[in-house]
Amino acid sequence: MNVSEKTLSRPERERAESHSVVVRFAGDSGDGMIFDHRTYTCRPGTIKKHMALYEQHGFAAQCRHLGRPLLYGATETGDVNSYVHVWVYESADDRARKRQAMQEDLDWQRYLELSAEAGYLIKQENKILVPASFFEMPKL
């Protein structure tokens, strides 16, 4: 079975989360705001089902711990079986604390079980980004 045919099990998801890619600019100390950029790929034809499952069972639990995402969107061009979400944290420590609390949440655990049972997800890529020195968060 190749990776594109395999559903990520809970241990595989947790292992992937612990291996997030960290992107830093030269001279950055690692302190301060970070962006957690996550790309997930679904089996062809299942993205709408997965998004509905997440909306119904995962979104509220995740927002309860992480706050609202900066972006949560489906890919319109390119790999249309993928979606991206971006979360903003005050620091790497802030991210770690919030994500740990989320992992302990029974509602979030139930969502992970339902997601694994559905088998829609086949790939996950995480990147931790730091803002450029000239970047300011837009006012919405």
User: Is 90 inside a domain boundary?
Assistant: yes
**Statement: residue 38 has pLDDT above 90:** yes
- DSSP 3-state of 46: coil
User: Is 9 inside a domain boundary?
Assistant: no
- DSSP 3-state of 100: helix
> Which amino acid does the sequence have at 78?
G
Provide the domain limits for residue 55.
20-129
Query: In this structure, what CATH number is given to the domain that contains residue 63?
Result: 3.30.70.100
**Statement: residue 1 has pLDDT above 60:** no
Q: What angle do CA 20, 76, 114 make, to 5 degrees?
A: 55
**Statement: residue 25 has pLDDT above 60:** no
Under the banding of pLDDT at 50, 70 and 90, the label for residue 92 is very high
pLDDT at site 11: 53
**Statement: residue 42 has pLDDT above 70:** yes
**Statement: residue 43 has pLDDT above 50:** yes
